[in-house]
């Protein structure tokens, strides 16, 4: 399942959906808001395009690594330090495929999915990745 949401991410729900009898390994990646001296972070997505790209990446990962399941949930809206930005859960028959699939999804997501972050600190704000 692919989701872009303003609500908290439930890793438990994602793990439940990814479980299956033929999966012997489940790997989770959780990206969280790091305290770089910021007060909060605002996340914005080009929702329709981001969902389509995430679905494409998910399908690539499933076919390349033979995943049994792949779940991706990305937050938008205002996040405090420590909150979850993105969660990826991949299950496969063996750990190697599950690790590889999870890594593939986060790396491709960063390169291809139209989502942006703005860091807000006491002394100003800045868009991440902007020169």
Partner 1 sequence: MLVKVLAFASFREILGKERELEIKEAATAKELLEELAQASPRFKEAAFDESGELRDYVLLMINRKRIDPGQDLSRPLHEGDELAVFPPLAGG
Residues that bind partner 1 (CB under 8 A): 31, 43-46, 48-50, 52, 74, 85-86, 106, 109-118, 127-131
Nearest to partner 1 of 6, 48 (CB atom): 48
Reading the block at residue 59, the tokens are: 């399908």
Nearest to partner 1 of 52, 93 (CB atom): 52
In the bound complex, what is the minimum distance in angstroms from residue 108's beta carbon to partner 1?
10
In the bound complex, what is the minimum distance in angstroms from residue 59's beta carbon to partner 1?
17
Q: How far apart are CA 20 and CA 56, in angstroms?
A: 22
In the bound complex, what is the minimum distance in angstroms from residue 22's beta carbon to partner 1?
29
Reading the block at residue 113, the tokens are: 């999915």
In the bound complex, what is the minimum distance in angstroms from residue 28's beta carbon to partner 1?
14
* Residues in CB range of 63: below 8 A, 6 or more apart: none
With contact defined as beta carbons under 8 Å apart, do 38 and 78 qualify?
Answer: no
Nearest to partner 1 of 31, 66 (CB atom): 31
Nearest to partner 1 of 23, 43 (CB atom): 43
In this structure, the number of other CB atoms found within 10 A of the CB of residue 67 comes to: 24
In this structure, the number of other CB atoms found within 10 A of the CB of residue 17 comes to: 13
């Amino acid at each position: 399942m692919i989701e872009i949401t303003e609500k908290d991410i439930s890793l438990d729900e994602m793990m439940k959906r990814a479980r299956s009898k033929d999966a012997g390994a489940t790997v989770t990646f959780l990206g969280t808001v790091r305290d770089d001296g910021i007060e909060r972070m605002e996340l914005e997505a080009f929702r329709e395009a981001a969902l389509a790209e995430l679905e494409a990446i998910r399908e690539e990962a499933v076919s390349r690594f033979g995943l049994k399941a792949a779940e991706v949930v990305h937050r938008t809206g205002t996040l405090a330090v420590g909150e979850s930005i993105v969660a990826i859960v991949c299950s496969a028959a063996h750990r190697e495929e599950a690790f590889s699939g999870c890594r593939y999804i986060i790396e491709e997501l960063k390169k291809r999915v139209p989502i942006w972050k703005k860091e807000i600190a006491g002394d100003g704000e800045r868009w991440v990745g902007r020169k």
